Amino acid sequence: MKIKILAFGIAKDIFGAPGIEVELQHGQTVGDMRLLLEAKFSRLASLSSYMVAVNNEYADRQQLLQEVDEVAIIPPVSGG
């Protein structure tokens, strides 16, 4: 199944686009997707932390993904 992933902040720079599409197997989780992305985009793995949102809600690593899900990568935010 194809999952569309939106990228924000530095994640956009890492992906080289505001969004990408990845191929996952049915039954795969947010954690599986993170491993795939970090293997393909090593700079993403080097971020101290980043969050994944699925359908506008933060998702944990065990959440199952479906083809209709809207997924977003939200990098760490700094500022004051």
pLDDT over threshold 80, residue 79: no
Query: How many CB atoms are located within 10 Å of the residue 27 CB?
Result: 10
Query: Are 24 and 41 in contact, with CB atoms under 8 Å apart?
Result: no
H or E element in which residue 22 lies: strand 19-23
What CATH superfamily is the domain 2-74? Answer: Beta-grasp domain (3.10.20.30)
Averaged over 18-33, what is the pLDDT? Answer: 96
Nearest residue to 12 via CA among 43, 39, 34:
43
Whole-model pTM: value is 0.90
Residue 18: the pLDDT is 97
